[in-house]
Amino acid sequence: MNGESVGTPEEGDITGSAISIKDLDLWYGEKQALYGVTMDVPPESITALIGPSGCGKSTLLRCLNRMNDQIQGCRVKGTVLLDEENINDPSTDLIDLRRKVGMVFQRPNPFPFSIYENVAYGCRCAGIRNPPTLDKIVESSLKSAALWGEVEDRLDGPAASLSGGQQQRLCIARALAMRPEVILFDEPCSALDPIATFKIEDLLRQLREEYTIVIVTHNMQQAARVSDRTGYMYLGKLMEYGPTKQVFENPQNESTEKYVSGAFG
């Protein structure tokens, strides 16, 4: 919890944090990519990260489920609290962490399996083998990802036969099947057309009711449309972070103002 919210909560105010990042620095070898990032991500809300290419958005996102651990020479300093526990602690169970904090990437990346198996796979790996239980999880995850109606009669068909937008919703269903608390999205719509993008944005608004969402987007209109809070990053620093309306309409930092007004980036 943190003390940022005072009085009546307004749109975008923080009333408790699902994730609390404090003094986070990150290096790729000798090169520092994040500088002292401190931010609280409220639960059941959408937080957008914006900023020019190379400013550290994906790097910061990957710190939230320790995906950077897989990059050789990457070193992190600082804390990331999830449910009050520091995920950077060496004792963190990474499988459990990545179950709690799911991720959806820029390009839809379904497994080369059937639609059904894409959603069931993580559950099987977690030891759930009972067919009726798996059926229920697959159905509810596909429903929550707004895909069920389009695939219910072809669950055994290959995931690769779906359109790009459907594949991205399948990847969201796959993440949902693990019952995460947080879902990270790294530019989930950049490979999609406007209609598929609209469907994903609609879905994000629905998922916000139950999940904590952090989304990296290059599309400022998208950040303004879907997010409750926005963080503007520049050269590895979080320059500004606040309610989306404020960041876009009344930015406190000069470089944020230039970026959101389209003057650079």
Ligand X SMILES: Nc1ncnc2c1ncn2[C@@H]1O[C@H](COP(=O)(O)OP(=O)(O)OP(=O)(O)O)[C@@H](O)[C@H]1O
Give the footprint of Mg ion on this chain (CB under 5 A): 58
Integer angstrom CA distances of residue 53 from 29, 150, 242: 20, 35, 21
Residue 138 or 192: which CB sits closer to ligand X? 192
Q: Tokens 């960041």 map to which residue?
A: 247
- Is 57 one of the binding residues for ligand X (CB under 6 A)? yes
CB of 103 vs Mg ion, minimal distance in Å: 13
28 binds, among Mg ion, ligand X, none (CB under 5 to 8 A by kind): ligand X
18 vs 24: CA distance, rounded Å: 17
Residue 195 or 263: which CB sits closer to ligand X? 263
Residue 153 exposure: Cα atoms within 13 Å on the Cβ side: 2
Residue 134 or 183: which CB sits closer to ligand X? 183
Question: CB of 211 within 8 A of CB of 180?
Answer: yes
CB of 143 vs ligand X, minimal distance in Å: 31
53 vs 254: CA distance, rounded Å: 18
Neighbour-count burial of 150, counting CB atoms closer than 10 A to its CB (0-12 exposed, 13-18 middle, 19+ buried): middle
55 binds, among Mg ion, ligand X, none (CB under 5 to 8 A by kind): ligand X
| Residues 219-248 close enough to bind ligand X by CB under 6 A | none
20 vs 17: CA distance, rounded Å: 6
- Is 71 one of the binding residues for ligand X (CB under 6 A)? yes
- Is 55 one of the binding residues for ligand X (CB under 6 A)? yes
Residue 55 or 155: which CB sits closer to ligand X? 55
- Is 28 one of the binding residues for ligand X (CB under 6 A)? yes
- Is 54 one of the binding residues for ligand X (CB under 6 A)? yes
251 binds, among ligand X, Mg ion, none (CB under 5 to 8 A by kind): none
Phi-psi region of 41 (alpha: psi -120 to 50; beta: other; left: phi over 0): beta
User: Rule CB under 6 A: which residues touch ligand X?
Assistant: 28, 33, 51, 53-59, 71
